[in-house]
Amino acid sequence: MKRARAPRGAPHRTPHRTSRLLTALVAATLTAGGLSAATGPAAVAQPRATGNHDLQAADWSAAMTRSTTARYTPSSIGGWSYPVGLYLFGQYQVYQRTRDPKLLSFIKSYVDRFVDASGAIGQSFDSLDSMQAGRLLVILHHETGQDRYRVAAKKIVDRLTTYPRTADGGFWHADNSSRAHQLWSDGVYMVNPFLVEYGKEFGDSAYTDDEAARQLAVYGGHLQASNGLLRHAYDESRIASWADKSTGLAPEHWCRAIGWYAMAVVEVLDALPADHPRRAQLLIYLRNLAGGLERFQDPKTGRWFQVVDKGARPDNWTETSCSSMFTYALDRSVRQGYIDPRFEAVARRGYQGVLAKVSLGQDGRTDLTDISVGTGVGEYAYYVGRTRATNDFHGLGAFLIMNEQLASRGTGR
């Protein structure tokens, strides 16, 4: 039976002979332990620890994946989680370009810690966060054809049939008392790109496309404000400590929560048929969001602030993961014709701003700075007081997704 068309994030099949040639080329060009190695058929200049790196020519994606896989093994990188899943999805984007077999092998070894030969996976999937790494299951099925990855991925889809929802059909952020009746902007990325990719891989797009589009519409309808930005969360019950008693909305526009929505709506639009009944509605949310991002971009750095609309406050700071997410979403939206071409200039400023946060340390490995650690819902002081981490997986994954989208214009990849 003919296999479903590869989802975005999954490669077209490469003939085995071509794969062997690519593997041989990678092996021949890798330098033991060094960051000066070529990484694929069209190698580009590598970053150097000089402080004056060529931002357009340096292959920061390849350097970052080599650095991260040197710092961690598939066993030590962490448990089944969305930050690790995000990073490894970004690593897979680099694999698609470079065909470096070690990158895919690392992903497979990580996933195989959790999925046995029969497809059993020891996850209850009682939160949207726990579903994000399911994208890796779809990828590995596509790459290997092993049915166990389909079986494991189907457990997520089956769980959604009983997963709790708001009255208008939005998935709760988690199936527990502390998240009951709540929609968080973060949640749309945790499940909906997985859904549309699952549908394409396994021939179930009629359901998965409709569900993903519905979720983005419900979340956007509750969370998007008149300035185009999204509030971090909404509580249908109005009982959460952060919820406005009249609207149920959280008080702030936290940057990464908005970034999750931005990436999700673009990736779902990429999957939806042109005549899908919710497509026009999702395009309105995306275009309004693009206008808000343009309005609140920091003119000095090109990045975006931790609390997006309050950049004038002296204790606010520009955050790297969301800046990567916004840059990716804007650039891809322009390329796909979803938003006005003028937003390409916004994306390019964002790209330069993010590249200013990556460098090589004395050990020859990449460092990506000013990444907010994992964050719940709160007030302004809570967000700006969050730890500004280096090499947090939220930032590494978002950077790789962004860089693989934008670097091609500067390097000819």
Instruction: Give catalytic residue positions.
Output: 186
> What are the two backbone dihedrals, phi and then psi, of residue 174, each rounded to the nearest 5 degrees?
-155, 155
Q: Cα separation of 202 and 217, whole Å?
A: 24
Question: Which whole-number Å values give the CA distances from 114 to 47, 108, 141, 259, 337, in the listed order?
Answer: 35, 10, 15, 28, 39
CA 132 vs CA 8, 67, 144, 399: distances in Å: 15, 23, 20, 17
Q: Which of 227, 234, 231, 199 is nearest to 213 (CA)?
A: 199
Q: How far apart are CA 230 and CA 119, in angstroms?
A: 37
Other Cβ atoms closer than 10 A to 36: 14
Beta-strand pair 366-368/371-372: unpaired
Give the bridge partners for 319, in sequence order: 304
Q: Which of 213, 215, 216, 195 is nearest to 204 (CA)?
A: 195
Instruction: Give which of 294, 299, 399 is closest to 346, Cα–Cα.
Output: 294
Query: Which residues share a beta bridge with 171?
Result: 165
CA distance 399 to 328: 9
Whether residue 366 contacts residue 360, with contact meaning beta carbons closer than 8 Å, is answered with yes
> How many other CB atoms are there within 10 angstroms of residue 122's CB atom?
8
Contact between 94 and 61 under an 8 Å Cβ cutoff? The reply is yes
